[in-house]
Amino acid sequence: MATRMSPPPPPLYETLGTPAIRWPHWFRLFQNFVLGSCADELSATRRRALLLYCQGPEGQRVFDALPAPPPFQPTLSPAATDEKRTK
């Protein structure tokens, strides 16, 4: 049985300038779109791609201009740090 996909929210940044919809409201629309279209079952990478696509061309340009995040480094608990010191 085919699943009908909910329509995406309007682009957040269709053109350069102030968005037509404020971020908190737009993000709630996007979250409803994700749930309504079962996109919450997609991988994190695909959900991020969907978020960027729905933001519109200017939103993607802004995202592409951001610096890359540093590599993930899990933090050690104080107990694990103390254990390493005693070895």
pLDDT digit string, tens, across residues 69-79: 888 887 776 66
pLDDT band at residue 1, thresholds of 50, 70 and 90?
very low
* Average pLDDT, rounded, for the chain: 83
pLDDT per residue as tens digits for the range 20-51: 889 999 999 999 999 998 998 999 999 999 99
Q: What is the pLDDT at residue 5? A: 67
pTM for this entry: 0.67
27 half-sphere exposure, CB direction, 13 A CA radius: 4
Tell me phi and psi for residue 20, to 5 degrees: -70, -25
Distance CA 9, CA 26 (A): 7
